[in-house]
Structure 1
Amino acid sequence: MRAGAWVDSPPEASAQAPPFVSYAEGTMPRSITPSNVAQMLDTAAIVDVRKEQARLKSGRTIPGALRLLPQDAGTRWREFEGQTVVLFCVHGHEVSQTACALFEEKGVDAHYLAGGFEAWQAAGLPTDTLGKDP
């Protein structure tokens, strides 16, 4: 089966189906572990792409993380040209992988945080209160 293909039915078949991401043949977004990201806090752009409701509910983020609304990833990727970027959402699934695929398609060195912010917290890695200056 080709990467990015629907397994059961196209998105039109279900109002709750996740958005379809068309990956280039044989490619998928690249994941990176929380422990590896922790070593990159000073060298990579860490980008919080969680949906606003989930972000506000947690009240926390990764230290120094930049904010990017998920729906803006396709238009704001140029801000990250020439940088290594790690994008994260709550669980490391559709939101961060979609943003990562969009960034990679434009030539940005992008990765998504495996397991998302939940995995970051479960690993006992540092967090900041939302609104704290980096």
Structure 2
Amino acid sequence: MSSFTTISSDKLARLIGTANAPLLIDVRTDEDFAADPRLIPGSVKRSHESVPDWGEELAGRSAIVACLRGQKLAQGTAAWLRQLGVQAETLDGGFEGWKDAKLPLIDSKKLPPRDAKGRTVWVTRARPKVDRIACPWLIRRFVDPNAVFLFVAPSEVVAVGERFNAAPFDIENVFWSHRGELCTFDVMVEEFGLKTPPLLRLATLVRGADTARPELAPEAPGLLAASLGLSRMYDDDLEQLDAGMLLYDAFYRWCRDATTETHNWPTGKAKA
């Protein structure tokens, strides 16, 4: 197993939101967390004291551990994880270093209650198209990688939310829903403090596709076509969500890295 290593905030920021992002584990003390109850996007709060217990379930995976300043708690937890077969690194400078770099932070008070396994649970209408795939993608990639999504009959969303302690989204008259011209994806980007240039660009595409405004972005009709195609390919909403994760991974990476790239044909044709 590898020895002690660290990762910079800038490098970690490039990994967050991608399909191959490592597990992010926040081991700040309860007192430090209470002083600033925000989380690095995608991170899960764990206790350093019980790492021998919860660390076993992470064997074979990679993880980044952060405490307040990247010192004893993060380094000790990462060392324990390496003993358990986890490829664990620590975040250089810890939570404070990330904050000093002015990188996004999620207010944990905005998150719905977690279940007994530490997961957030969400509920929405069955047969998703655009927003109801885009929002789960955003949550799993930037908010809670272990989030659970329940797809139910439209008339039962609120009641299921109440009985199963799940946060309803993308229906009328709930917090996580359309606001004016904004779609639910826009609202989540705003409320979770994720207004980075790539996610704002992606939000424009989602809004255009979800609200029948293709003029908002040239790519919006393509997103709508792909979304409707997926909805015809899959009868199972969870299988559709799994396929949709790859779709939004691709659109996000285009928004982040490839908007200026073009292709010409034929390849050898001289420019006029």
The two structures share one fold, judged by TM-score above 0.5: yes
Query: Is 1:60 matched with 2:35?
Result: no
Letter in 2 for 1:114: D
Partner of residue 33, structure 1? 8
Query: Is 1:104 matched with 2:82?
Result: yes
Conserved 8 A contact 1:31-1:112: yes
Letter in 2 for 1:58: D
**Within-5 A mapping of 1:1-134:** 28-42=3-17, 43-133=21-111, 134=143
Letter in 1 for 2:79: A
Give the CA deviation at 1:121.
0.6
TM-score normalized by the length of structure 1: 0.75
Provide the identity percentage: 26
Unaligned stretches of 5+ in structure 2?
112-142, 144-272
Q: How many equivalent residue pairs?
A: 109
Letter in 2 for 1:40: L
Unaligned stretches of 5+ in structure 1?
1-23
RMSD value over aligned CA atoms?
1.7
Residues of 2 paired with 1:37 and 1:56: CA distance?
A: 24
Letter in 1 for 2:4: P
Q: In terms of Rg, which structure is larger? A: 2
Letter in 2 for 1:41: I
Partner of residue 114, structure 2? none
DSSP-derived class of the 2:15 partner: coil
Give the CA deviation at 1:131.
3.8
User: 1:47-81, CA deviations, whole angstroms, 9 ceiling, x for partnerless residues?
Assistant: 10001110111121101211111101122112222
Letter in 2 for 1:33: S
Letter in 2 for 1:34: S
Conserved 8 A contact 1:29-1:104: no
Give the CA deviation at 1:132.
3.6
Partner of residue 186, structure 2? none
Give the CA deviation at 1:28.
4.8
Conserved 8 A contact 1:32-1:112: yes
DSSP-derived class of the 1:39 partner: helix
